[in-house]
Amino acid sequence: MMQPREFITPAHMVVGSNAVEQLGEQCRKRGWRKALIVTDKIMASLGLVARVEELLAASDVGSAVYAGVNSEPVVEYVQEGLEVYKANACDIVVAIGGGSPIDAAKAIAVLVSNPGSIEQYKGLGKLNNPGVPLVAIPTTAGTGSEATLFTVITDQKTDVKMLIGSPYLMPTVAIVDPLLTISSPPGVTAATGVDALVHAIEAYVSVKRQPMSDIFCISAIELISQNIRQAWANGNNIAAREQMMLGAMQAGIAFSNASVALVHGMSRPIGANFHIAHGVSNAALLAVVTDFSLIGDPLRYARIAQAMGENINGLSLMDAADRVVVAIRRLVRDIRIPSLRELGVERERLMELAPSMADAAIDSGSPGNNPRKPTKQEIVELYARAYDEV
């Protein structure tokens, strides 16, 4: 018997090429008067922030800008952005950029109405009040943050990436415009695309999955697997960019409702300790963690292999499941995502930190969603295997 489950999505989504042109009207018709634009210096240098300001102004919506977010959203950025919001009497937050600006914007929006600092709300369900309205405009096909009820903020004092989850973190409006990803370089396209793929794979095998999330997972895996190589090889391939954006958004909706698992649990400590892009650390772990996990749910992994384009006809169930590892390794190689070794991580240092990183992974709760539950020692061994992958 199917038990009742919530399935949460953004209240309103505008999806398609040139969707960003609707920003001003989306704000105007809701009576919003002044936006804090949360972004980074790259978006500002590309002229996208100026474009957002123009679109808002054309609908008589004022704006202030906080462009201090860097590659990792940290507590300091959230506090700075909150001060800019209050100083300019804003009533909404508009985020434009990759996952970092959107995650920072989510934290800013909820701190307007929840006292204290964001560290107090680490974990799930700790926020007591809805935040101010939030419009999320992604410029990468990756995190799916525009469609999730999570944010990840790094505590720079402890180097811990804090996962915060609440329905109050779900954007009010998500504007998903594939044309905004055209300027993404190949390395970013690869890393963010694999991040989205991992979201979909882990949500599909998660013990918290549900029938609705399964639909989004399989569609996302197919879209990303079929289009990531083309988007990486030719950033101006609009058709591939459109499909990647759809896949990333679907993956975000899926994992927001079904959660992630062991790859993400192990990936966050790598990012926090070695300052490696989240998608890259996911890619370094995905094949070895999948190989470890197959036996926990071979039927689902076989379906993933099929969704990634593998021919599993005539294979035994375990052999069919094994094909997903082959598909992952081929994909990571094709789009040239560097290994931990190539990124300059020293094996000795990795293994020195591995026990504490394993503790952090377990504490996050994500490994508990995995179809095969790892021990701490098994996580340490998986870090070693990931490093030794060639």
CATH number of 90's domain: 3.40.50.1970
- Quick one: 236 and 100 in the same domain? no
- Quick one: 342 and 223 in the same domain? yes
Residue 347 lies in a domain: yes
- Residues of the chain with pLDDT > 70, as a percent, come to 100
- Quick one: 148 and 123 in the same domain? yes
- Quick one: 255 and 382 in the same domain? yes
pLDDT at 161: 83
* Cα 99-176-127 angle, rounded to 5 deg: 50
CATH number of 228's domain: 1.20.1090.10
Residue 3 lies in a domain: no
- Quick one: 76 and 206 in the same domain? no
- Quick one: 197 and 148 in the same domain? no
> In which element (H, E) is residue 40 found?
strand 34-40
Task: Tell me the C-alpha distance between 103 and 143, whole Å.
Answer: 10
Domain boundary among 160, 181, 202: 181
How many independent structural domains does the chain possess? 2
- Quick one: 126 and 204 in the same domain? no
- Quick one: 172 and 81 in the same domain? yes
> In which element (H, E) is residue 92 found?
strand 92-97
For residue 116, the 8-state DSSP code is S
| Cβ count near 262 (within 10 Å) | 30
pLDDT at 373: 98
- Residues of the chain with pLDDT > 90, as a percent, come to 91
- Confidence tier at 272 by pLDDT (50, 70, 90): confident
Q: Cα torsion at 160, 97, 224, 228 (round to 10°)?
A: -110
- Quick one: 128 and 269 in the same domain? no
Instruction: Provide the residue range defining the domain that includes 129.
Output: 12-181
pTM confidence score: 0.94
- Quick one: 151 and 232 in the same domain? no
Instruction: Quick: pLDDT tens for 12-57.
Output: 999 999 999 999 999 999 999 999 999 999 999 999 999 999 999 9
- Quick one: 177 and 196 in the same domain? no
- Quick one: 167 and 306 in the same domain? no
Domain boundary among 149, 181, 213: 181
Domain boundary among 181, 206, 236: 181
| Cβ count near 115 (within 10 Å) | 8
Residue 235 lies in a domain: yes
